[in-house]
Structure 1
Amino acid sequence: MTTTSTATGGVPRVFLVIRALSELQAEGGRVTQIARNVGLTQATTHRLLQSLVTEGVVEQDERSKLYRLSIDFFALAAKAGDGGGLRALCRPALLRLSASLGDSIFLLVRSSFDAVCLDRSEGPFPIRSFTGDIGGRIALGVGQGALAILAFLPEAEREEVIRFNLSRVREYGVYDEVYLRTEIEKVRQQGYAGRNTGLLEGMAGVAVPICDREGRAVAALSVGTIADRLNADRMPTVVELLKREAAAIGPRINPFDPTLRRPAQSLAGSPAAQKIHPPEAPASSD
């Protein structure tokens, strides 16, 4: 009984360490830093890291002693993401949009209280985005793609996300509840989220929701570009192309795609929720 409990209790902590490493991937992380970030002892963190090194999903630089996620980890993730799910379904649309518009196209998917970049197709113009590269996440409501998803959630889910995320979106300095709700209503009325100026200076974006057969927003197609390329004359053309692709994708979404499992059933277990309401420490002494 004790062995089973310990093994089960260790799984969440392993993923805490993996998530912490993903945030430190560029420069790598030391045991002390990772332990502090995940709220575990150095001894426990070191043991978990060494286990992951043994499994080949984490590597440690011999000279600097810094830990990073290994290439095997990313190869495994790429293989898992190539299962004929939403990413594979949307990839042709991203390529078509990028080619026809000449801008960067993003596929964002809902993950509990966040939007995660599931895929992107680069355009010729250097841009900055909230989610950054594939795998980056942002609170629902921040940025055009995340706002488009939030606006078209069922009302009960939308209200729960707003209540939870309000303190998070306020960190960007221009949001309050009235502003956020006004933006959501505007998006619902016009069917897209779009601005030619935004929180990222010089950047512009527009996004439309991708809705499943039940009319629930599960993802978004988003264009990221420089502000000069998304003026009032060009915006309707971009929106029309995005809506056309999203409308074609929606009916073809596999309702059993693991990427789109109903997040409302386990909101408390999301990474965002874990940061604000961390789980109780396991009974194990380490």
Structure 2
Amino acid sequence: MNASADAPVDVVGRVSTLLRALADAEPDGTTTAAAARTAGLARPTAHRLLTHLATTGLVDRDANGRWLLGPELYLLGNAAAARYDVTALARPVVRRLSLATGESAFLSVRRGNETVCLLREDGSFPIRSHVLHEGIRFPLGVASAGLAILSYLPEREVDELLRVDLEPAYGPTHSAAAVRERVARTRRTGYAVNPGLLVEGSWGLGAAVFDESGSPRWALTLTGIEQRFSAARRREMGALLLQEAHDLSTSLRGR
């Protein structure tokens, strides 16, 4: 009885991980083997699920046999956009940040225990960081967006999230103690700093954006090379991020 009750949930979880694997591989698509590896599934299982998903239009397969997200997901996304899409309000904010600083600017959203990058606007400075791109996901506490959001969650939720060990994937700089230290620093300054912890020499700043209930749901971030993130410039860009994040939070509450 329990096994049959759990089976549909297991299938849903597997499908979800496969769709995320395909999203990470956009726009080039991915092979069955690579999708299975990313989703942590056996190759035959991944192939069977992808084939079923293709019959409903949720995934597609190109002439080279690579899997991509399907047209039905686009239609479903449009149907949900009225409730979840904030990009229309956020896009000019992200553009202003990139123009004002010359750095790459982003908007990310919290999805469960992760952040997902929604918008990217490259600045005028010719050397750029390529850590972030639209669709990429990181656990909360990783990268400046996830750190900014994590820092403004209730303490009990922070404790629960940090029970997940980030060290195997991101190294000792992402131990629970190290992340807590950065959370404390973020709460003091108001904005998060990622001092090249994901890619050496690639720095980031992040500020949380709050929903109508006062919960941190999105983050505005700036990324660039270490040489352009001196202490003085971090303070300047941090203040700008906080102001734009405050204004965007106010606009979102008024929707």
Q: How would you bin the TM-score normalised by the shorter chain?
A: 0.7 to 0.9
Shift of 1:128: 3.2
**Shift in Å at residue 76 of structure 1?**
3.9
State the secondary structure of the residue aligned to 2:221.
Answer: strand
Q: 1:190 to 1:9 in 2, by over 3 A?
A: closer
- TM-score normalized by the length of structure 1: 0.73
**1:51 is the counterpart of 2:52:** yes
1:163 is matched by which residue type in structure 2? R
Contact persistence 2:142–2:174 (CA under 8 A): no
More off after superposition, 198-207 vs 246-255:
246-255
Structure 1 counterpart of 2:102, one-letter code:
G
Compute the displacement of 1:211 (Å).
Answer: 2.1
Q: Is the 8 A contact 1:21 1:29 kept in 2?
A: no
Q: Which residue of 2 aligns with 1:281?
A: none
1:237 aligns with 2:239: no
Which residue identity lines up with residue 241 of structure 1 in the other structure?
L
Alignment of 1:54-133 (within 5 A): 54-62=55-63, 64-70=64-70, 72=71, 75-76=74-75, 79=78, 83=82, 85-124=85-124, 125-130=126-131, 132-133=132-133
Counterpart for residue 280 of structure 1: none
What residue ranges of structure 1 are gaps of 5+ in the alignment?
258-286
Determine the structure 2 residue equivalent to 1:219: 218
- Contact 1:169 1:175 survives alignment (8 Å): no
Identity %: 30
Q: Matches of 1:158 and 1:41 in 2, distance apart?
A: 35
CA distance change for structure 1 residues 169 and 138 in 2, over 3 Å: closer, same or farther?
farther
The Cα of 1:224 is off from its aligned counterpart by 0.5
| Equivalent pairs, count | 247
Matched residue, 1:265: none
Q: What does the per-residue CA deviation read over 1:95-128, in whole Å, with 9 as the maximum and x for residues that have no partner?
A: 1111111111111111111111121111233433
C-alpha contact (below 8 Å) 1:82/1:88 kept by paired residues: no
The two structures, once aligned, show a CA RMSD in angstroms of 3.2
Q: Please, which runs of 5 or more residues in structure 2 have no aligned partner?
A: 1-5
1:32-47 correspondence runs (5 A): 34-35=35-36, 37-39=39-41, 42=44, 45-47=46-48
Give the alignment's TM-score, normalised by structure 2: 0.80
Indicate the residue corresponding to 2:145 in structure 1: 145
**In structure 2, C-alpha distance between the alignment counterparts of 1:101 and 1:224, rounded to whole Å:** 10
CA distance in 2, matches of 1:57, 1:186: 43
